[in-house]
Amino acid sequence: MAGHSHWAKVRHYKVISDARKGKLFSKLSREITVAARLGGGDPDFNPRLRRAIQAARAESMPMENIERAILKGTGQLAGEAWEDVCYEGYGPGGVAILVQALTDNRNRTAAEIRSIFARHGGNLAGVGSVAWLFQKRGVVLIEGGEVPEETIWEAALEAGAEDIRASDEGWEVITPVEKLESVQRALESAHVPIQSASLAFLPQTLVPIEDPDTARSVLRLCDALEAHDDVQHVYSNFDIASDILAEEARR
């Protein structure tokens, strides 16, 4: 199974503690603030903000938290000056890893991310070292079973989707970056239940990891990176058997 979506599935299997939920809310708030700062506070005219709010609502984040984050982004409330940064590196088994973060101190975050890679058998690499192994795409996740498959295909493809893939939970609709918003709206108009819509880095090729110990080392590195306060998303091109992923999820 590939690192793009299936590591996220493993994470969802785990029980989320109050502390982890608080950290998740902090990361979601940070994304909302940056989206509002870059594109304005109206989600109808700011696709990034709209997606950030949808992600926050999907995690039951209180509306007052969402509104406060927007006000920080538009400058109506004081807040930190967050900026987007991306780190590239390699993990155990030679897997490529992309880390997206929001930080108010580039030097601090870079040093801490480098340390996480080193502690888990990986290494932080230079800009451009692994980014070429990924493609930036829109990904719409759809819950399965409620809408006929033909409805999903027709709405998504007519709106410009590139591919539609079956998953354990339903469907993944893959779009060009510039078509994500139109595909999402087309699916919503067709009354398709959307779980989430986001931009992601999809691996072009996968690295098989057959040794269980190496697989666990890769997953623990990804877990440690995701746990960092500044990290928003972790993408990798690992291909790990589902039984190993399931075992890790139970830990």
Strand partners, 87: 99
Q: How many residues does the chain have?
A: 251
Tell me whether domains 3-73 and 133-203 share a fold: no
3-73 CATH: 1.10.10.200
Q: Which of 13-22, 160-169, 206-215 has the lowest mean pLDDT?
A: 13-22
Does domain 83-132+205-249 bear CATH number 3.30.70.980?
yes
* pLDDT tens, position by position, 151-161: 999 999 999 99
Q: Is the pLDDT of residue 22 over 90?
A: no
Pairing of strands 134-143, 170-175: antiparallel
User: What is the mean predicted confidence (pLDDT) over 174-180?
Assistant: 96
pLDDT of residue 20: 65
Query: CB–CB of 154/173 below 8 Å?
Result: no
User: What is the mean predicted confidence (pLDDT) over 79-99?
Assistant: 94
* pLDDT tens, position by position, 222-232: 999 999 999 99
pLDDT of residue 12: 39
CA 215 to chain centre: 20
Of the candidates 105, 114, 140, 122, the one whose C-alpha atom is nearest the C-alpha of residue 236 is: 122
Protein fold of 133-203 = Alpha-Beta Plaits (3.30.70)
pLDDT of residue 2: 43
Angle between helices 63-73 and 47-58 (to 10 degrees): 150
> Residue 242's pLDDT band (boundaries 50, 70, 90)?
confident
Domain spans in the chain, listed from the N-terminal domain onward:
3-73, 83-132+205-249, 133-203
User: What is the mean predicted confidence (pLDDT) over 175-201?
Assistant: 94
Query: What predicted TM-score, i.e. pTM, was given to this entire model?
Result: 0.86
User: What is the mean predicted confidence (pLDDT) over 196-202?
Assistant: 92
Q: Is the pLDDT of residue 24 over 70?
A: yes
> Residue 167's pLDDT band (boundaries 50, 70, 90)?
confident
